[in-house]
A and B are shown apart, each in its own frame.
Chain A
Amino acid sequence: MNFPVCVERSYLYKHVVTLSETDQFRHLSYANYLKLVYVVTDLFFLPMMDPAFLAKVRFKVINSRMEFRRQTEAGSHILIQMNALNLQDSGFDLVYQFMIEETRKELALAQQRYALINPENQQPVLIPESVKKLLGAIAVDQGQIHFNNRKVREWI
């Protein structure tokens, strides 16, 4: 008997919320969640980000959205799970699931659409094979990602 095997990989980033990241309401502010989105993304692509590569390809954020489900405080250990989806010739989406590391309770869900462009003439460029391979390793289907707001879902 054959059993279907489904392997899904994600890029995982662990973070401890510091006091400096919280505001007078003692929670991680929404802007700092977005800051973490960019930290995780940059780290994921860091190995290929040399000046020669960056001179040919710019990863440009076109759209961004995030839903916040729970608040978190200084000292919380959080896990950010990043996956790729909607891989196209000149663009892709990244989705980020924020959760409490211990309990896996959802904190937030974010999605960003990137376009790859030539930094000199701002024209679309095809995704390099190296990038395609990297994203393919963490690819998931859009159907697996559930934003609560239906109208927001239409944005995709």
Chain B
Amino acid sequence: MDLETGRTKIPGTHREFDFDNITVFFKHTDYYGFVHPYNYFEWMGYAREAFFQELVPNFLEVINRKIKMVTSNVQLRILRDAQFGTRIKVRIYSQRVKRVSYEVVFNFYDQEGNILLAEGLQRLSFLDEATNEPAPIPAELKKVILLHEKK
């Protein structure tokens, strides 16, 4: 446990960030009572925003600059079904951090039993709003991204 952040830290490797505020409600379920896949995409968004909001003190100021964070691609693999009442934790870390983009890995766990439910991946790219050309990841974001980078 990292005393500064309260997050799990694996010595010698990388940090991981946990977003554990998800409970499956009826609105998340499909015809058969299982979590509809769409929700995992939405929860990926929550987890990555919570990551930045918690770890970057001036995150709101950063995102209002002229350099925009854009989702280039997303992937999801569902391993097990989850149902109403399941409490889900999303554990995220970064990988393949480049100058203008990086990837975020999302692992969704059923908190009871720590069972892996689904795996997600997003590539986030940064663009200059004025020119639409790739732009460097803002320094404030890159700092925390690198701390959580799995190499």
Q: Chain A residue with minimal CB distance to B45?
A: A31
8 Å CB contacts to B: which residues of A66-91?
66-68, 71
What is the minimal beta-carbon distance from A151 to any residue of chain B, in angstroms? 9
Total number of residue pairs linking A and B with CB closer than 8 Å:
53
A3 part of interface (Cβ distance < 8 Å):
no
Question: How many residues of B are counted as interface, with CB atoms below 8 angstroms from the partner's CB atoms?
Answer: 19
A152 touches B38 (CB 8 A): no
List the A side residues contacting B73 at CB < 8 Å. 65-68, 149, 152
- B78-113 vs A: 1/0 string, CB under 8 Å? 100000000000000000000000000000000000
Kindly state whether residue B147 has any CB partner on chain A within 8 Å. Answer: no
Contacts of A25 in B (CB 8 A): 68
**Contact: B76 with A31, CB < 8 Å?**
no
Whether the pair A68, B76 counts as a contact (CB closer than 8 A) is: no
Q: B96: shortest Cβ distance to chain A, in Å? A: 9
| Given A38-B36, A67-B73, A68-B72, residue A61 in contact with residue B78 (CB < 8 A) | yes
A44-79 interface with B by 8 A CB criterion: 54, 58, 60-68, 71
Given the known inter-chain contacts A30-B71, A34-B38, A38-B38, please indicate yes or no for A64 contacting B76, CB distance below 8 A: yes
Please, how many angstroms separate the alpha-carbon atoms of A119 and B34 in the complex?
A: 11
**Whose C-beta in chain B lies nearest to the C-beta of A34?**
B41
CB-CB < 8 A to A22: which residues of B?
A: none
Q: Which residues of B lie under 8 Å from residue A152 when comparing CB positions?
A: 73, 75
Question: How many A residues have CB within 8 A of the partner chain?
Answer: 23
Please give me the residue from chain B that is nearest to A65 by CB atom. Answer: B75
Q: Who on chain B is nearest to A49 by CB?
A: B31
Q: Quick check: is A104 within 8 A (CB to CB) of the other chain? A: no
| Contact indicator A30/B41 (Cβ below 8 Å) | yes
Query: Which of A34, A35, A62 makes the CB contact (< 8 A) with B74?
Result: A34
Contacts from B to A (Cβ < 8 Å): 31-32, 36-38, 41-42, 45, 68, 70-78, 123
A-B contact pairs, 10 of them (CB 8 A): A30-B74, A31-B38, A34-B41, A34-B74, A38-B36, A61-B78, A62-B77, A67-B72, A68-B70, A68-B73
